[in-house]
Structure 1
Amino acid sequence: MPRAVILCVDDEAVILKSLEIELQSAFGDTYLYEFAESGDEALEIIDELNGEEVQLLIIVSDWLMPGMKGDELLIKVHQNYPKIHKVMLTGQADEQAVERAKQYANLYRYLQKPWNSQELIETIRSALA
Structure 2
Amino acid sequence: MGKIVILCVDDEKIILNSIKVQLKENYGNSFLYETAESAQEALDIIDEIMTDNQTKLIVISDWLMPVVKGDEFLIKVHSKYPKSLKIMLTGQVDEESIKRTEKEGNLYKCIRKPWMASELISCINSGMLLI
Contact kept, 8 Å, 1:8 with 1:19, in 2: the verdict is yes
User: How far has the Cα of 1:3 moved from its partner?
Assistant: 2.7
- 2:112 aligned partner: 112
Query: AA paired with 1:43?
Result: L
The RMSD of aligned alpha carbons is 1.3
Decide whether aligned partners of structure 1 residues 54 and 37 sit closer, same or farther in structure 2, where only a CA change above 3 A counts.
farther
Q: Is residue 37 of structure 1 aligned with residue 53 of structure 2?
A: no
Runs (4+) of structure 1 moved beyond 3 Å? Answer: none
Matched, 1:85 2:94: no
Distance 2:2 2:126 in 1: 22
Q: Distance in 2 between matches of 1:120 and 1:23?
A: 9
Consecutive unaligned residues of structure 1, counting only runs of 5 or more, are none
Between the two proteins, the alignment pairs up a number of residues equal to: 129
Tell me which residue corresponds to 1:123: 123
Q: Unpaired runs of 5+ in structure 2?
A: none
Could you report, residue by residue, the CA deviation over 1:63-91 in whole angstroms, capped at 9, with x for unpaired residues? 00001000000000100110001000001
Say yes or no: does 1:9 pair with 2:9: yes
Q: In 2, are the aligned partners of 1:7 and 1:56 still within 8 Å (CA)?
A: no
Question: Which is worse superposed, 26-35 or 43-52?
Answer: 43-52
TM-score (normalizing by structure 2): 0.94
Superposed CA offset, 1:68-124 (max 9, x none): 000000000100110001000001111111011001001000100000110110001
For 1:27, give the aligned amino acid: Y
Partner of 2:57: 57
% identical aligned pairs: 52
The aligned amino acid for 1:32 is: L
